[in-house]
Structure 1
């Protein structure tokens, strides 16, 4: 077997995502079928040196058999069975050459992925190779090119060229924005038809604004609910529109809801650290909520990175002898970074060092960089699908509130991002009691004294549900019966934003949280519909007695600043 440098090879492969000329000999299905041949090229040769010879021979033999069968079917006009949804439209099945073009692409794609899976390499290197290969395969689909996309060609003819003209216009507009449009962004306005829950900004500093929402009931639970959303996106994923708003739902359940609206960093925040986000962000928000509500105990809530932030803050406070949380809710949150899904391909010593050298002391990570990374994780759905519809077919993307939010990205301060990247994703120190010092205090998640509701999404590609479940081993280690884990269907966002009225999807419960993840799921019970009512019951249990709803927001020390959603959320990164 060849001795090789895994990182150097991976870097070389990723660079070829831009220059894909070597794939055109075999992957581009616009070539006549009788010119099809075994995949070739420098990358394929290098990959072959990392595979056992017997395995390589077997895969080549299987490939040639399938290729021969495809050619034989073509010679007798037997159309291939295209089960890939990218080729579901009738145009792919009504034209023999396009049908065989798609079939040859799928055959070559299967062969290349089989080679990637057969590589003899460390697990992380193998994962990176597979990711790079999958990115190339997705990019080279015949559906992505006008010359090989019969749907786009039909539309071009039917519209007498208008579809292509519109597609080019939309592509040029997107180039100006620096991103692909996934929705009709003109259909939404923050504060007008998204982020519309009635409320008031009652505190602000350079890091965040604190919103207090208007009560919807005459009486409310004594203990308020503080929601900490991720700082890598805008908060209104939790308040899209009334019918799918987590905020609106919580207010309707009789909770006084406070929410952190993070600032969208500019150069004035280029030196902000992770310690700042904990001390001047989450801990300050807790303090203000306590003072306004006149309650020592509050219900704490964190979503994604917001969950990591609020958990760290509560651990810091525990080290200082304070226990402000009556309960803790964590949605799709990582505390143990042992399993980080496909995001792991972007994190290694070399890449982290590169970020530290460029923005580790001062600088910004542009929101568009984060957005591009997350889109790459689901390239067919979030990139190539829109290339085909927006540019090749000239179709305008329909309005969709969730995708509008997805495009409203935020920057991150370089020092904060680099600390987070190294100490969590790379070195996984957050789960180690005492391994980190944050805001002058030792971090020990096991010292957080609060019952915990932990949620994971079964198809989550950002926070694998098993990784979310791992939090139950870190929280309340001596009293795990205080932890509750619930698994929802769908992905990172759609699984969370699943209101009861929609009667969609399902969720799984199992009161035994001391098991490993697979055993937990094996013993879990599936329930139809939304998991939100289960969470509402948990909050009710820890919300305290019912009291008269506050007559007005804030307090004498924290007067109203402006109406929700406030100024900070309206600052765009682009």
Structure 2
């Protein structure tokens, strides 16, 4: 009873703060302020840096005022910061304003880092939060200090403001009514995206299993099982025909199966992480075994689906279940001890607030997860978008990936709580403490070869964290580091301009290298990593091809239930 009272109080507070724990922020800033106040050396350093930066900025302003020659900037934007790239920013007074902002931003970076005694987590929280506040006051976000906005308004006679305001009202109305963003109706599921032919051959409360129709006369004997994350719809891997990973694999002569997860409701609040393993991965393996008997299966997991596949594989190894021919992990973490900036949103105080919110509703709303991901790249996903769409009146570009991203899903209360506490906070899987069927399981027990893919600009599963599969496994690991981010790096079809990747194979008996050393020794290749992966899969498949399997297995209780992409994918 007393715990229930705490849950109600946490839920009320979380609703008022949007799921953010004020206590977590207070603890972080208190830790920083108390230690800064007790560090006279750090204080003196900051005072000297303030004087030096102010003098450097004043000298820059004076040179710009006294000479018409091009004056070197006193500070350059950080890599990836594109807010001030336009030529208009190099003209006074805009050049001085953005230089002053960057100098201020740099000083606050110094102020929030390397304060003696501050815990690393609190330091990261303070630095990240302070950066978010500073970005609000960036000259790029103000009508009167952004030359691009001013020039656009002059060119259109103010029409850009009218168009931007109308777009704001339209998107605000759509958000209130739960409608998708404008333009996404051009990418209809089953019509424009997720159109690879196939059939639903198995269904339970949590998944539909899709078997894709063969497009070649013969296939490799070993089928593929794709386990996508349930924080997204599965068709990220089956977007438009030209960039569908599933269609590509089918075209390479593989029998492809893919899980489509149910979009849970409050009634599913008690579904746990092990339910996703049993009703998801294990149920799908059983169904595939009935359709393609006496054949091993290549397992493929994307993001959290890869984490779940790793858990399932470790549990299978514990009972000598050798059905997996290989394991592919796409932007998937198995060790969460260094998960990148996403850890800023997860500590015990923050989790208590989040659990209160989920306990009340029965699930985590999709917009909470999306909001956290957007904050990690706020300049690109929030401020730049507002600038272009609302202040400059530009129509947003919509493609299949953006339309898919708007098709959000919910996460059940129990599962997400178990995931965050056991895997994220405690890293139980990496430590060999994660329990399946009353027995702890270990990644080290997996003997199937592993192909792991990390992406250069991943803000959800940073590639050094994905790389840690090398430290945990005791099998052959082939690792690819590809250009792009968490989604675009995986959806990297052959022919996509500007793609490249690094590739290296590590045998089980080889010494394990640190991620930095690996990247120095890996082979650089231009183009998509998909063909290299297919070659790897083929090398671990039987040499002789066989006729494609039948769709489903009616004689074994697996009749065709529906056409792909099934019914669960349409749940809102």
**Which residue is equivalent to 1:57?**
47
Find the partner of 1:448 among 446, 449, 456. 446
Q: Please tell me whether the aligned partners of residues 461 and 491 of structure 1 are also in contact (alpha carbons under 8 angstroms).
A: yes
CA distance in 1, matches of 2:38, 2:162: 46
**Contact map agreement 1:334 1:463 (CA 8 A) in 2:** yes
2:120 pairs with one of 119, 123, 127: 123
Structure 1 residues 220, 47: CA separation in 2 closer, same or farther (over 3 Å shift)?
same
8 Å Cα contact 2:302-2:330 kept in structure 1: yes
CA distance in 1 between partners of 2:163 and 2:83 (Å): 22
Corresponding position of 1:517: 515
> Are the counterparts in 1 of residues 291 and 549 from structure 2 also a CA contact under 8 Å?
no
- Cα distance, 1:529–1:122 mapped onto 2, change above 3 Å: same
Q: 1:50 to 1:124 in 2, by over 3 A?
A: farther
Matched, 1:72 2:62: yes
TM-score by length of structure 1 reads: 0.87
Does the aligned pair in 1 maintain the 2:223–2:256 contact within 8 Å?
Answer: yes
Decide whether the 8 Å contact of 1:48 with 1:56 is kept in 2. Answer: no
1:111 counterpart = 2:125: no
Deviation at 1:296, TM superposition (A): 4.4
Listed as ranges, the gaps of 5+ residues in structure 1 are 1-6, 16-41
Shift in CA distance, 290/360, structure 1 to aligned 2, threshold 3 Å: farther
Which of the numbers 132, 136, 140 marks the counterpart of 1:139? Answer: 136
Bigger mean CA deviation after superposition, 139-148 or 249-258: 139-148
Residue 291 of structure 2 corresponds to: 292
Q: Are 1:181 and 1:386, in contact at CA under 8 Å, matched by a contact in 2?
A: no
Aligned length: 534
The equivalences for 1:543-554 within 5 A come to: 543-544=541-542, 545-554=544-553
Superposed displacement of residue 432, structure 1: 2.1
Deviations 1:115-152 (A, max 9, x none): 22243322221111111122122222222222322322
Residue matched to 1:263? 262
Correspondence 1:489 to 2:483? yes
CA distance, structure 2, for counterparts of residue 561 and residue 81 of structure 1: 67
CA RMSD in angstroms comes to: 2.7
Q: Is the 8 A contact 2:46 2:110 kept in 1?
A: no
Q: Displacement, 1:102?
A: 2.0
TM-superposed deviation, 1:565: 1.1
Q: How far off its partner does 1:519 sit?
A: 2.2
Q: CA deviation at 1:359?
A: 2.8
How far apart are the structure 2 equivalents of 1:368 and 1:220? 41
Equivalent in the alignment of 1:463: 461
Residue of structure 2 equivalent to 1:531:
529
Distance 1:560 1:246 in 2: 23
Contact 2:32 2:123 (8 Å CA) reproduced: no
1:167 maps to what in 2? 164
Partner of 1:309, secondary structure, is helix
C-alpha displacement at 1:254, in angstroms?
A: 0.5
1:571 to 2:571 alignment: yes
Partner of residue 21, structure 1: none
Q: Which residue of 2 aligns with 1:562?
A: 562
Which residue is equivalent to 2:16? none
Contact 1:199 1:214 survives alignment (8 Å): yes
How far the C-alpha of 1:10 sits from its partner, in A, is 5.7
Cα 1:399–1:80, aligned 2, differ >3 Å: closer, same or farther?
farther
Asked if structure 1 preserves the Cα contact closer than 8 Å seen for 2:202 and 2:561, the reply is yes
Describe the shift of the 1:254–1:555 C-alpha distance in structure 2 as closer, same or farther (beyond 3 A). farther
Separation (CA, whole Å) in 1 of partners of 2:372 and 2:297:
35
Q: Deviations over 1:376-423 (max 9, x none)?
A: 111111111110111111111012221222222211001100100011
Q: Equivalences for 1:36-47 in 2 at 5 Å?
A: none
Deviations along 1:408-445, one digit per CA (max 9) or x if unpaired, are: 22110011001000111101111122x12234443222
Cα distance in structure 2, aligned partners of 1:107 and 1:250? 50
Question: What is the match of residue 418 of structure 1?
Answer: 417
SS in 2 for 1:547: coil
> 1:32: which partner in 2?
none
Give ranges in structure 2 of 5+ residues lacking alignment: 1-20
- Structure-2-length-normalised TM-score: 0.87
Aligned partners of 1:472 and 1:67: how far apart in 2? 47
Counterparts of residues 216-255 of structure 1 (less than 5 Å): 216-255=215-254
In structure 2, the CA distance between the partners of 1:50 and 1:242, relative to structure 1 (3 Å rule), is farther
Match of residue 189 from structure 1: 188
| Deviation of 1:184 (Å) | 3.0
Residue 290 of structure 2 aligns to a residue in which SS? helix
Counterpart-to-counterpart distance in 2, 1:175 and 1:292: 48
